[in-house]
A and B are shown apart, each in its own frame.
Chain A
Amino acid sequence: MNFDFSDDQKFLRDEARKFLEAQCTSAHVRAVLDDDGMSHNDEVWQKIVEMGWLGAAIPEEYGGLGLGMLELCVIAEELGRVLAPVPFGSSAYFFAETIKLAGSDEQKAEWLPKVADGSIVGCLATTEGPGALSASNVHTTAKDGVLSGTKVPVTDGDIATHAVVLAKEGSGAGLYVVALDQDGVSRTSLKTIEPTRSHAEITFNNASATRLVPQEGNGLKPYEGNGMVLLEQIMDRAAVLLAFEQLGGASRCLEMATDYAKERHAFGRPIGGNQAIKHKLADIYVKNEVARSNAYYGAWALSTDAAELPEAAAAARVAASEAFWFASKENIQTHGGMGFTWEVDCHLYYRRAKLLAVQAGSPAVWKEKLVSALETKNAA
C-alpha cells in the first residue's frame, strides 16, 4: 500500500506552489476581473507555457514532458489554489486529453506538440442550452467535414485557437477539431458569474472540421460514430483533474477562513474561539479530507487506466464539488461584511467554485453517473 504521491511528485508540488505564489498573485487574477476586455492573464499564461506544464502528461514523442497523469493532478491542485486566470484546463484537460484519447496517430502528431509548446490553445465546446448534456440537445451538425451550429457557453472559447466540438452526425454524434480563426466561425464574449475565466458563444457556419478518429486498441470502447460514448470517457478523465483544481480552491478557502478567524476579534476575543465558527471550519476540514481522499483515488484510477475509473472519477467530482462549494460559501460567511466586498478575495473562490462545479456536468449529473456505475458493478 502506498496511497500517496511520490517524493518527486511532492517536490513538483512544492515547486509549483512557490512559482505560482510569486507569479500568479491575487493582483494577477484581479487584473482580469477588473478589465472587461481582458480574457485571461497573458503574462501568467506565458510563464506557465515556459514551465512546460501543458505538456506534463503529453508523451515525449509528441513534444511533451511525458511525466504522467499524477503530475498533471499535482499541477491542477496548485492552479486551483491560486485561481489561475488562464486557459490551462481547457487546453490541457479537455483539448489535449481528447486528442490523446480520440485522435489517430497523425492527429496526435499534428496537435499535441503545439498544445505542449503553447502555440495553439484548445477548448471543448459541447453545451448549447440549459440542462444536462444529452444526445437529444445537440443541434450542431457535421457532414463531410463541414460543421454548423452554435455552442454556448464555451469556456476559454474566445482565447482558444482550436476547439473540440461535439456535433450530430446521422443518428449519432461525433467529435471534431475546428480551427477557430477561419471564416466559418464567429464568436462573442459572454458575461458570466466567473469573469476571471473567459467564456464565449461560438457560431459555426459551414466551418471546416476534422473528425477525430481514435486508433484501435488504446483501451477505448468502440467508437461506432457515437461521440457521446467517447465524451463520457473524456469527461471521466477531466473530472479527476477538475477535482484537483477544486480541492486546491477548497483548501485555500479553509486556510483563509482559519487565518481570519484567528485574527478578527469580537466580544473581546478571536471569533475563532466561538464554536459556531470552530465547528463550521471543522465541517469544511472534514469535507475537504473526504474530497482529497476521493481525488487521490481518482488520480490512481486515471494514471493506471483502472476499470474503476468511472466510479472513482464520479466520486472525486461529487466530493470536490461539494467541498469547494461549501468551503467557498462559508469562507465568505466567516469573513462577515468584509467577505462580501469586492476587495477581499472570498468571492473569487465562490465564483470559481460554481464554474468548476458545472463546467463538466453538474453534481446531479455526476451523482447519477456514480449510482449507475455502482448499480452496474453490483449487478455482476
Chain B
Amino acid sequence: MDFTDTTEEAAFRAEANAFLSQHLEPKKAAAIRSGRREDYLQRAKDWQKVKAENRFAQITWPKEIGGRGGSPMQQVIWNQEESKFDAPIGPFAIGLGMCVPTVIAFGSDDHKKRYVQKALFGEEIWCQLFSEPAAGSDVAGLKTKAVKDGDDWVINGQKVWTSGAHYSDYGILLVRTDPDVPKHKGLTMFIVDMKQEGVDVRPIHQASGGSEFNEVYFTDVRIPDSDRLGEPGMGWKVALVTLMNERLAVGGSPGPDWAEIMDYARSSGSMSDQAFRAKLADWYVAAQGYKLTKFRTQTALSKGETPGPENSIGKVITANHLQDICNSAIEMQDHYGIISDKDKAPADAIFQESFMWAPGLRIAGGTDEILKNIIAERVLGLPQDVRVDKDKPFSAF
C-alpha cells in the first residue's frame, strides 16, 4: 500500500497544479456558491477554452479529437487538483461527461467533426433530454414520439427536469419511435438543436428557489435522419452508455462536509455536545470511507482494470450525509437557524442553502432507491424487480 504518486504521476500533478495556479483562485469554502454568480456561464466558457487549448480538457480522450491521450489516472489527478480551485465547471459536466461521449460512441465521423471540438472548447453546451413527466426512474416509459417523414423525423412531446436546457445549444434526445413493441425496444436517440423552431424551454422554479432545470416542449420539431445516434429501436442501448457515464460523473458532494460543520461547531460552542460529536464521527467515517473507496477504484484503474460498481455507493452516501449535516447545522443554531440571509447567517448561509438543495441531489442522476436496486441486482446478483410491462407492447399500457 502506497499513497505516494509514482514519478510520472507526481510530474503530471505538478504540471496540472502549476497550470491551475496560473489561471484560477484557490477554492474558499464560500466559493461553492459561485455557481449562482451572474457571470458564471461566461467564466465557465472561458475556463473551458483555456483548458482545451492546453489539452487539459478531457485528459483521456484521444489527441485526434482534442484530448490529451492521457491515462485514467491522469484524469483522476487532474480532477483532484482542479477541485482545489474555484473552477467554474458546472455547465459542462453533463455535456462533456455524458452527452458528447455518447456522440463519440455512436455518432458518425461527420458528427464527431461537427460537435466534439466545439463542445470541448466551450463554444457549445449540451443537455440531456431523457426524463419526462411520466418517465423518471422508469426512463424507458417515455412518450415523446418521433415519426419518420421523408429524410426527417418529426418530434412531438415533452421532457422535464432538463438541467441547463436554457443555456444549451444541443441535446441528446431519447424518444419513442415504435409504440407497438415492448418499451425498451421502441426507443431511438437523436442529436437535437435546442435553438431551432418548435423547441420551447420553460424554466422550472425549484424547491430550492433557483431554476437550474427546465421543461422542454417539442412541437413538430424536425430532426434529419442523419442526426440519429444508433439504429432506430436501439435507443435504450445508447442511453445505457450515457447513464453509465452519469453514474461515474455524479457522486461527489457539492456542499459542506464534516470539516465545515466542525469549524462551525467550534466557533459556536457546539463541540461540547456529546450527541453532536458522535454524529461528527459517523460523517467523517463515511466521507473518509467514500474517499478511500475512490482510491481503491483508482488503484484498479491504474492496473488497467475497469472500475467496478463501487461508484454507485458514492451518491447514496454523500447525498444523504449532505442533507444530514445541513440539518444538524441548522438545529445547532436553534431558532436563528432558519435565517438564510447570507449577511446575517453564520458561514454565509452555506448550510441553509445546501439544506434546500440536498433533496434534489438525492433524486438527480438516479434516486437512492434506484441506486440501491442497482447494487442489489448488479453487484449482489439478486433477482430483478417484477416488471409487468416487460414483454408487452408499450401501446398496451
Contact = CB atoms under 8 A, between A and B. Distances in A.
Given A272-B383, A279-B376, A290-B293, A315 B284 contact: yes
Contact of A278 (B259, B263, B290, B377): B377
Contact of B281 (A279, A293, A318): A318
B372 A278 contact: yes
Say whether chain A's binding surface is mostly helix, strand, loop, or mixed.
Answer: helix
B382 to A, nearest CB: 4
A285 B373 CA distance: 12
A222 B290 CA distance: 36
A258 interface: yes
Interface in A157-177: none
Nearest to A299: B1
Nearest to A303: B1
Contacts of A143: none
B77 to A, nearest CB: 9
Contact of A378 (B2, B259, B291): B259
A290 B383 contact: no
A300 B289 contact: no
A282 B380 contact: yes
A285 B313 contact: yes
Interface in B277-292: 277-278, 280-282, 284-286, 288-292
B292 A297 contact: yes
Nearest to B293: A293
B27 interface: no
Contact of B383 (A270, A289, A318, A368): A270
A274 B291 CA distance: 31
Contacts of A364: 278
A367 B376 contact: no
Interface string A264-304: 00000110110101110111011001111110110110010
A300 B3 contact: yes
Contacts of B2: 1-3
A261 B278 contact: no
B244 interface: no
Contacts, number: 156
Nearest to B309: A285
A4 interface: yes
Nearest to A314: B281
Interface string A39-75: 0000000000000000000000000000000100000
A370 interface: yes
B379 A285 contact: yes
A370 B281 contact: yes
Chain A CB within 10 A, most for which of B3, B288, B369: B288
A3 B5 contact: no
A275 B381 CA distance: 13
Interface in B178-221: none
Nearest to B278: A367
A283 to B, nearest CB: 7
B289 A374 contact: no
A89 to B, nearest CB: 22
A299 B266 CA distance: 30
Contact of A289 (B280, B310, B380): B310
24 contacts: A1-B2, A1-B299, A1-B302, A3-B1, A3-B298, A258-B381, A273-B384, A275-B369, A275-B376, A278-B372, A279-B372, A281-B376, A282-B372, A282-B379, A286-B313, A286-B316, A294-B285, A294-B288, A315-B288, A315-B289, A318-B282, A322-B282, A370-B281, A371-B280
Interface of B: 1-6, 9, 73, 259, 262-263, 266, 271, 277-278, 280-282, 284-286, 288-293, 295-296, 298-300, 302, 310, 313, 316-317, 369, 371-373, 375-377, 379-386
Given A2-B299, A4-B1, A278-B382, 20 more contacts: A1-B2, A1-B73, A3-B295, A70-B1, A254-B380, A273-B382, A275-B372, A278-B372, A279-B369, A279-B372, A281-B376, A289-B289, A289-B313, A290-B286, A290-B317, A293-B290, A299-B1, A318-B282, A370-B281, A371-B280
